[in-house]
Amino acid sequence: MLPVRLRDFIEDPDGWLYAVSTYDNTEKIGCVLRYVPEENGERVSPAGRRYRKYDFEEAYAKIAREKPAYAGLVQRIPRGDVRRVLKPDEEIERIAVASPRVKKLLDLLSLPRGTVGCTGSLLCGLANESSDIDMVVYGRHWFGAQDLVKKGIQSGKIEGMSPALWRKVYDKRKPEISYDAFVIHEQRKWNRGQIDGTYFDILYTRSYDTLAGAPSGKGEVLGRTTIEATVTDASLAFDNPAVYLVDHDEITKVLSFTHTYSGQALRGEIIEACGVVEQHGPERWLIVGTTREARGEYIISKTLIEQ
């Protein structure tokens, strides 16, 4: 059986569906509750079963109330309680048949089989007309997809982001940086756009042969700080967590657990980052995104802003 990895979905014995949010899934699967079968749910599966979609706060409250054994920083489901695993790369052909927009995007990306998938409501068979497209691209192929999105937008084959859509994303994320700074950073990431008016992301997930190197576990919390540092490696800046190796007297890595600050800086750029310092063995890491909305925490590229 292939490892369960970030952006897969799992189903528990009661039919509850969870988005996998970690790579450390050996004994228990780290995930967040997304869909629960409910008689009056607004989402309907192909089999006619109704589900309710739970947002972040609602999901944590429901787990604490009804399945406290799963509760934690993320929900942790014992492997013995996993009834089904849904993998974006294995289900992509089924999804593309059901969704012309996914098929169109898949054709534009033109990636090798097994390197691309689709997660979220489309993976679970619970999408509606307002659902976004959450494409997943694995390992180094993500950067090829990023380049194709860039070229697609520049050529007009893919719709870019309108000011109104940028504002919608900004208001949803509620970041600790200004709207102008947010858009400046986002516009050069080339990881989102629109297909026939439907918003999409391309999301990075590690290939199976690199799972062992993913950060895991919480370190000893040493306090909060703000640093300036030069990024020495941003090759995993679009992962979750996003990882930036930095040249700094005390901090060796800056990690972001919020999608807002993934891909925020390039190698060689100077960043300003505010977050929580954790001790991990001999290293100190600066963690950004210690809460859902990362209140008081951020990463900006000073190099980009000054340009």
Joined together, the tokens standing for residue 54 give 């739970």
The amino acid that residue 293 corresponds to is: E
Joined together, the tokens standing for residue 258 give 């919020």
Model pLDDT for residues 125-156, shown as the tens digit of each residue? 999 988 999 999 999 999 999 999 999 999 99
Q: What is the CA radius of gyration of the chain?
A: 19
Q: What is the pLDDT of residue 262?
A: 96
* Alpha helices per DSSP H over the chain: 56-66, 88-98, 100-109, 121-124, 141-155, 163-173, 179-187, 302-306
Q: What is the pLDDT of residue 221?
A: 95
Model pLDDT for residues 252-268, shown as the tens digit of each residue? 999 999 999 999 999 99
> How far apart are the C-alpha atoms of 20 and 94, rounded to whole Å?
20
Q: What is the pLDDT of residue 130?
A: 86
Q: What is the CATH number of domain 88-208?
A: 3.30.460
> How far apart are the C-alpha atoms of 174 and 177, rounded to whole Å?
9
Would strands 283-288 and 253-256 be described as parallel, antiparallel, or unpaired?
A: parallel
Model pLDDT for residues 193-236, shown as the tens digit of each residue? 999 999 999 999 999 999 988 887 789 999 999 999 999 999 99
Would you say domain 218-306 falls under CATH 2.40.50.140?
A: yes
Domain ranges of the chain: 9-86, 88-208, 218-306
> How far apart are the C-alpha atoms of 258 and 268, rounded to whole Å?
22
Asked if 85 and 4 count as a contact pair (C-beta separation under 8 A), the reply is yes
Q: Which residue has the tokens 């925020």?
A: 264
